[in-house]
């Protein structure tokens, strides 16, 4: 099903890109270009072929690891300084993975800890405070939180830089300082979903007979939650974590744009602006593949951690 989904998504990506307004050849050659020049340029790029032919050529090359050639280096004078799309995506992809990975390393353990303590101290001041804070964070869009953090920690209190300009020669510490604000933005956005699901799953299991038996035996509340409730609550928790990890990879586009972070999202938006079709299609397919793969991993973990699904008989 994951493979079928990816095929369907690839068709949607190709179709949507086809409906992008404007014409790349006309944009490069200018309004003064003759129809013959535009036609010759389109033929050189392969844009004169029918849509279904170009789709099968594109998907066939993708299956062989060829993401195509960027249009951005082609000029009206006949110069061809274009680069393979994979050379453009590869360094930016690792930048996006770094941003999402660090945010996940902070958000996932923090969400589990807060969710467990919120369930342990249900209806307490701590529980209500965490719920209000998480609901507030999840209610605001990414760009609002990003600009709020820039206002507070880059303008009023200039602790971190407002632009996440990273380079290959930066040390890990320097990179973490530069990307602190976008990482905090992603953590605040994804923390609420995972924390609330952890809390809800554990509270739902607290009324189970085996939990009541453990309570009657005098087992401490912390041990009951960690050793008895949490292992049985993994299935819904893991699913939500996987969804949020997928968001961290796919949903960084807005955050990268706000902080001018050189990731795949920034590259994709720039490619849409310049009508660089191969780059747009490759970036969209990379995001779709990451999302489908993470959901597949979540399904597998849910099956492995749930004996009723693992052994249905």
Residue 308: predicted pLDDT: 67
Residue 194: predicted pLDDT: 85
Give the C-alpha separation, 166 to 31, whole Å. Answer: 38
Distances (CA, A) of 119 to 9, 245, 246, 254, 276: 39, 23, 26, 33, 50
pLDDT digits (tens, 9 = 90+) for 48-77: 778 788 888 888 888 887 777 777 655 544
Which secondary-structure segment (H or E) carries 266?
A: helix 264-273
Give the C-alpha separation, 48 to 175, whole Å. Answer: 45
17 Cβ contact list (under 8 Å, min separation 6): 277, 280, 281, 284
Confirm whether pTM is higher than 0.75: yes
Residue 312: predicted pLDDT: 63
Residue 79: predicted pLDDT: 46
Give the C-alpha separation, 73 to 96, whole Å. Answer: 24
Boundaries of every domain in the chain: 2-63, 97-262
pLDDT (tens digit, 0 to 9) for every residue of the chain, 313 residues total? Answer: 888 888 898 889 888 877 776 666 666 666 667 777 777 777 776 777 787 888 888 888 888 877 777 776 555 444 445 678 888 888 888 888 898 889 999 998 998 888 888 888 888 898 888 888 888 888 888 889 889 999 999 888 888 888 888 887 888 888 888 999 999 999 988 888 888 888 888 888 877 888 888 888 888 877 887 777 777 777 778 878 888 888 887 778 888 888 988 888 888 888 887 777 888 888 888 888 888 888 888 788 777 776 666 666 6
Residue 23: predicted pLDDT: 66
Q: Would you say 211 and 219 are in contact if contact means Cβ atoms under 8 Å apart?
A: no
Residue 106: predicted pLDDT: 92
Give the C-alpha separation, 126 to 117, whole Å. Answer: 8
Residue matched to tokens 């951690």: 305
Residue 17: predicted pLDDT: 77
Cα 4 to its chain centre, rounded Å, is 21
Give the C-alpha separation, 90 to 69, whole Å. Answer: 14
Which secondary-structure segment (H or E) carries 63?
A: helix 51-63
What is the topology classification, in CATH, of domain 97-262? MetI-like fold (1.10.3720)
Q: Would you say 169 and 186 are in contact if contact means Cβ atoms under 8 Å apart?
A: no
151 Cβ contact list (under 8 Å, min separation 6): none
């Amino acid at each position: 099903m994951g493979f079928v989904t990816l095929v369907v998504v690839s068709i949607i990506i190709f179709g949507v890109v086809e409906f992008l307004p404007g014409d790349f050849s006309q944009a490069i050659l200018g309004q003064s270009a003759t129809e013959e020049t535009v036609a010759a340029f389109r033929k050189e790029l392969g844009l004169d072929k029918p849509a279904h032919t170009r789709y099968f050529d594109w998907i066939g090359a993708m299956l062989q690891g060829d993401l195509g050639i960027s249009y951005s280096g082609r000029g009206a004078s006949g110069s061809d300084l274009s680069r393979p799309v994979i050379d453009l995506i590869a360094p930016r992809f690792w930048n996006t993975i770094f941003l999402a990975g660090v945010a996940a390393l902070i958000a996932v353990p923090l969400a589990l800890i807060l969710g467990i303590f919120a369930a342990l101290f249900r209806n307490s001041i701590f529980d209500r405070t965490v719920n209000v804070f998480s609901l507030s964070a999840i209610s605001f869009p990414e760009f609002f939180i990003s600009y709020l953090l820039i206002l507070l920690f880059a303008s009023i209190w200039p602790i971190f830089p407002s632009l996440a300009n990273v380079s290959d020669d930066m040390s890990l510490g320097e990179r973490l300082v530069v990307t602190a604000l976008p990482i905090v933005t992603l953590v605040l956005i994804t923390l609420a979903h995972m924390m609330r699901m952890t809390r809800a799953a554990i509270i739902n299991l607290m009324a189970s007979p085996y939990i009541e038996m453990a309570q009657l035996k005098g087992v401490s509340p912390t041990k009951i939650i960690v050793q008895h409730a949490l292992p049985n609550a993994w299935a819904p928790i893991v699913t939500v974590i996987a969804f949020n990890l997928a968001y961290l990879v796919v949903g960084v586009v807005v955050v990268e744009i706000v902080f001018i972070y050189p990731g795949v999202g920034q590259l994709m938006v720039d490619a849409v602006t310049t009508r660089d079709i191969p780059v747009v299609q490759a970036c969209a397919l990379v995001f779709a593949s990451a999302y489908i793969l993470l959901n597949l991993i979540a399904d597998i973990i849910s099956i492995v951690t749930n004996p009723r699904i693992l052994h249905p008989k």
